[in-house]
Structures are given as C-alpha cells and as structure tokens.
C-alpha cells in the first residue's frame, strides 16, 4: 500500500477518526457493563436463570458474524457511511434494549445491537490505514487500540456504578448521546476520497448463510461445551455444523470472482501470522478480563464497583505505556516489539496462577501492571504486520478478518477456562479432602480451618456439623486452585504465540 506518500492528515480527519473510536469504545464497553449487571436485569424482567446467558450470547454471536462482513459493507457504502449507519443502528438498538419489557424483546434488540457494533471495530482499524500516511499510523493505531482494550477494563466499574446509582436501563441509555455525537461528527468530518470510496460486489446469499451458520454454531457450541461436555451430542453436532458450513463458505469464496470476504488476504504470510497473534491476544485479553472479576466476585466476594476499582490498574498501566509504544513502534522492528509484548503479557498471566484464598488488590497489582503495559505492544506491531502491506482494496476485509481472529481467540479461551474450572474444581476438592483426612495441618490452615480446632479433630470421625462447616472452605479452596489452572493455561498459550514471530517476513524499510 503506497500511503507512505500520502499528505499529512488534516485536523478534520483526526476529529472524524476520534469520533469513530468513540463509537467503537461504546460498542465494546456495552458488553462488559451488561455482563456486570446481569443479575439486576434478570430480577427486573423476571428472566429464568438458564436463559440469562442469551443476553450476552445474542450480542456476541451477532457481533462475530458481522465482523468479517465489514469489507463487503465498506465496498457497498464506503467507510464513512458504513460507520454512520452502524453507529446509528447501534444507538437505536441501545434505546430499544432500555425500553424492553420482556426477555424476547431484549434479545431481539441485543442481536441488532451486536450486529451493528460488530462492524464498528474493524471499520476503525481499517480507517487507520486508509486515512493516514505511514508516519501517522502508529498514533492512530494507539488511539484505536487504547479505546478497544480500555473498554473491557473500565467496564466493571462503570457497570457497577450505574447499577448501584441508577437503574439497569441506563446500562443501555448511556450509549445514546455518544452514539449520536459520533454519527454527527463523522458525517461532517469524514469527507475525503478514502473515506467515501466504494467498491460494491455481487451479493452471495449462499456464502452469507454459510458464514453466519458456521460462526453462530461455533459460538454456541463453545458456550455449551464446558457445561454439557465436549463430547455431548449437542456440542459435537454444533461444531460439526460449524465445520461443514465453514468449508462451504471457503469453497464458495475461493471460487467467486467477487467474494463476500476476501480470503486472499491470507496469501500474505505476515497477514496470516498477524492474525495468529491476534487470536493469541484474544485468548489472554478476554481470559484475563473474565477471570479477574470471577475470582474477585466468587472468592473475595467483592461487589461490582469494588471489582471495577481493582481492575483499573490494568487500564492505568495501559495508558501510561501507550506513548512509549508509539515511540518504539516507529524505531524498533515489529518482530522484537511483538516478542517483548507477548512475553510480558504471558508473564503477567502466569503470575496470576499463584493466587490464594487471601489474594486481593495488592497482590494483583504487579500482574495487572505487566499485562496493561504489554497490551499495546501485543496490538500495535501485529496490526501493522497484518494490515500494513495489504493493498487498499483488501484493507477493509483484512481488518475484519484480523479482528475476527481476536474474537474467536476470546471465545475459545473462555470455553477452555470454563472447562478447566468445571472439571478441575472437583478434582482439587477431592485432593483437599484426602489431605485433610490424612491430618495435613498445612492444608487445613491454608483453606481457613484454625490450627488448634483441626488438631483436636485429627483421628476422630467428623460429625455432621463439622462437615457442613468445612465443606464451603473446601469448595472455595478448590475453586481457587481451578482458577489458577486456568490462568496457567492461557499464560502458556499466550507464550506459545512467540513462536509465530519467528516466521515473520521482514517488511521493506519504507513500510
């Protein structure tokens, strides 16, 4: 892509780009703040417990289907009008969610909201390479990256504050003013040729249905696998449907002269490696923002607001590291920055695998700082590797696929985490009980049993009262061990991504 000879971006372009980042930020933030307040929504609308998961699943499934279609929609509408239409639709759906009076209406609006929000993320990242010359792309990517990864970090504290201060309706209403503002500003400022360039393609209904079916079945299959078991007929059937539909989509796409999604992006080795790094980042990023509130809520028994306050450390470290990431990205080879970023991020994940029942904010500070400082180095260089050398015609499709891989990595990571927690909790509980029966004082003290009380009971059959007193201590300790196992697994998977960097083809100096 020859945008290294583009003139410097105007102030108007920067303002329009920031408006796009605002819209993307609200779409990502929405996921986290709603997750924080699901019990409140459940009580207000009288939703059954086994149906609550669909409040999030409906959004995430629609989002993951929309992301790879961004290239098609960009060609049809142009980047400017795609963003304006998507952010307006997202805003309208947010208002619809706030007014929902029953479960079915809420789910319908969440689907619309997720589909619209899904196009905003890749649209912003493609704008980096379409609107700005090379010398400005690091700054633009940093702004977009901060917006993308800061939203999950501040989500718990925003969601907790809204829930405790106002009503659940404001979880959705807070999107309205920023959404309208972003749409108006983008309409007025993004007037350049690149922002309005169109390249419409033929609409392939079969490919669209196959893509939607493949991604939807995959997302739902991963959601059900931890509870039903990976070998359960429902899970196996969903994953089989996903594989078959995915194969049909690939065949249709490769044979089409005007494909719905340009899979030829993967012919570029650096793009494929960048997508692999994005997948690994998704595992670690989504996994860490899931495990922290999970531990703090169930083990430490903190409320949503306190959880958000503790998790702010990651966001602050990220903001502090961002300007250094921009400076180094201009001067240091992307391969070395990627290695440093993923090594640091993996280190932060692995440090969290040593938590105990008493671990709280102070002990979580260093792992959070490491992860927060590493995030921009895990995002900036892989983004340039993946999109920096694509032709202008392929950037929008490439951005959609690149961001899709991060979301798929997150979905796989969450499924692995839940599987580990469900399976390993029981195993750890059995081990703890066996040690207690053998008179292991260290284990007894570690799970919260007073030393003297335990020694008095050693060698005597425990009565029913003692069993009932000890059971919750054993369950909590087993849960902590299982959570540590999950931290360990996602840390190892993130570290393995370092091997991908060895195969990166060095880009020309001018790029």
Q: How far is CA 445 from the centre of its chain?
A: 37
| Structure confidence at residue 511 (pLDDT) | 39
| Rounded mean pLDDT for each run of 10 residues along the chain, 511 residues in total | 61 93 92 79 80 83 91 88 95 94 92 93 88 85 85 81 83 93 93 74 87 93 90 95 95 87 90 94 91 88 83 89 85 88 96 93 95 91 87 87 92 91 90 83 82 67 64 89 96 94 69 39
Fold of 1-201: Growth Hormone; Chain: A; (1.20.1250)
User: Using N-to-C axis directions, what is the helix angle for 464-496 and 392-437, rounded to 10°?
Assistant: 150
Domains 1-201 and 265-511 share a fold: yes
| Residue tagged 């060609």 (tokens) | 75
Taking alpha carbons only, the member of 7, 25, 304, 357 closest to residue 161 is 304
Report how far apart, in Å, the C-alpha atoms of 451 and of each of 183, 429, 446, 447, 470 are. Answer: 63, 20, 10, 11, 13
| Structure confidence at residue 435 (pLDDT) | 85
Q: Does domain 265-511 correspond to CATH entry 1.20.1250.20?
A: yes
Q: DSSP alpha helices (H): ranges in 78-166?
A: 79-99, 103-131, 134-165
Report how far apart, in Å, the C-alpha atoms of 404 and of each of 17, 277, 461 are. Answer: 21, 12, 56
* Pairwise CA distance, residues 352 & 355, whole Å: 6
| Structure confidence at residue 507 (pLDDT) | 56
The burial of 117, by beta-carbon neighbours within 10 Å (0-12 exposed, 13-18 middle, 19 or more buried), is given as buried
Taking alpha carbons only, the member of 405, 153, 448, 425 closest to residue 271 is 405
* Pairwise CA distance, residues 19 & 185, whole Å: 6
pTM: 0.86
* Pairwise CA distance, residues 25 & 124, whole Å: 10
* Pairwise CA distance, residues 292 & 350, whole Å: 13
CB 195 within 8 A of CB 130: yes
| Structure confidence at residue 2 (pLDDT) | 47
DSSP 469-480: HHHHHHHHHHHH
Give the 3-state DSSP-derived string for 260-325, with helices as H, strands as E and coil as C.
CCCHHHHHCHHHHHHHHHHHHHHHHHHHHHHHHHHHHHHCCCCCHHHHHHHHHHHHHHHHHHHHHH
* Pairwise CA distance, residues 319 & 373, whole Å: 8
Torsional class of 167: left (φ above 0), alpha (ψ -120 to 50), beta (otherwise) = beta
- Give the chain's end-to-end CA distance (angstroms, integer): 9
DSSP 201-231: ----HHHHHHHHHHHHHHHHHHHHHHHH-TT
CB 337 within 8 A of CB 329: yes
For the chain, domain boundaries? 1-201, 203-259, 265-511
| Structure confidence at residue 158 (pLDDT) | 85
Helix or strand or coil: residue 167? coil
* Pairwise CA distance, residues 129 & 398, whole Å: 11
Q: How many CA atoms lie within 13 A of 64 on its CB side?
A: 25
């Amino acid at each position: 892509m020859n945008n290294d000879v583009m003139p410097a971006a105007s102030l108007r372009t920067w303002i329009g780009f920031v408006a796009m980042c605002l819209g993307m930020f609200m779409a990502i933030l929405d996921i986290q703040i709603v997750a924080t307040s699901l019990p409140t929504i459940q009580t207000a609308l009288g939703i059954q417990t086994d149906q609550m998961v669909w409040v999030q699943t409906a959004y995430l499934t629609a989002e993951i289907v929309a992301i790879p279609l961004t290239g098609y929609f960009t060609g049809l509408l142009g980047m400017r009008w795609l963003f304006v239409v998507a952010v307006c639709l997202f805003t309208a759906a947010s208002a619809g969610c706030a007014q929902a009076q029953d479960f079915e209406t809420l789910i319908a609006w969440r689907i619309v909201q997720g589909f619209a929000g899904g196009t905003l993320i890749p649209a912003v990242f493609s704008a980096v390479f379409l609107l700005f010359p090379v010398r400005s792309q690091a700054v633009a990517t940093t702004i977009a990256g901060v917006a993308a990864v800061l939203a999950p970090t501040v989500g718990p504290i925003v969601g907790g504050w809204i829930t405790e201060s106002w009503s659940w309706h404001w979880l959705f209403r807070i999107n309205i003013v920023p959404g309208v503002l972003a749409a108006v500003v983008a309409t007025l400022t993004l007037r350049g040729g690149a922002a309005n360039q169109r390249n419409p393609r033929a609409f392939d209904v079969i490919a669209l249905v196959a893509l939607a079916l493949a991604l939807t079945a995959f997302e739902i299959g991963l959601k059900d696998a931890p509870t039903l078991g990976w070998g359960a007929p429902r899970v196996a059937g969903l994953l089989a449907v996903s594989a078959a539909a995915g194969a049909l989509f690939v065949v249709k796409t490769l044979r089409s002269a005007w494909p719905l999604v340009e899979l030829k992006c993967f012919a570029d080795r650096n793009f494929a490696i960048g997508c692999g790094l994005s997948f690994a980042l998704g595992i670690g990023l989504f996994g860490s923002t899931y495990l922290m509130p999970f531990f703090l809520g169930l083990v430490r028994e903190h409320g949503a607001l306190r959880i958000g306050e503790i998790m702010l450390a990651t966001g602050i470290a990220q903001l502090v590291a961002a300007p250094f990431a921009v400076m180094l990205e201009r001067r240091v080879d992307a391969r070395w920055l990627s290695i440093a970023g993923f090594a640091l991020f993996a280190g932060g994940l692995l440090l969290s695998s040593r938590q105990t029942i008493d671990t709280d904010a102070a002990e979580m500070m260093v792992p959070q700082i490491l992860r927060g400082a590493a995030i921009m180095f895990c995002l900036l260089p892989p983004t340039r590797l993946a999109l920096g050398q694509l032709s202008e015609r392929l950037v929008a499709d490439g951005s959609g696929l690149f961001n899709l891989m991060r979301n798929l990595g997150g979905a796989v990571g969450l499924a692995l985490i839940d599987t580990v927690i469900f399976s390993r909790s029981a195993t750890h509980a059995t081990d703890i009980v066996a040690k207690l029966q053998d008179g292991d004082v260290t284990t007894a003290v570690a799970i919260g049993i007073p030393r003297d009380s335990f020694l008095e009971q050693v060698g005597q059959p425990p009565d029913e009262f003692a069993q009932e007193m000890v059971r919750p201590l054993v369950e909590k300790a087993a849960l902590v061990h299982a959570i540590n196992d999950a931290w360990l697994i996602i840390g190892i998977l993130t570290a393995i991504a370092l091997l991908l960097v060895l195969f990166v083809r060095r880009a020309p100096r001018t790029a």
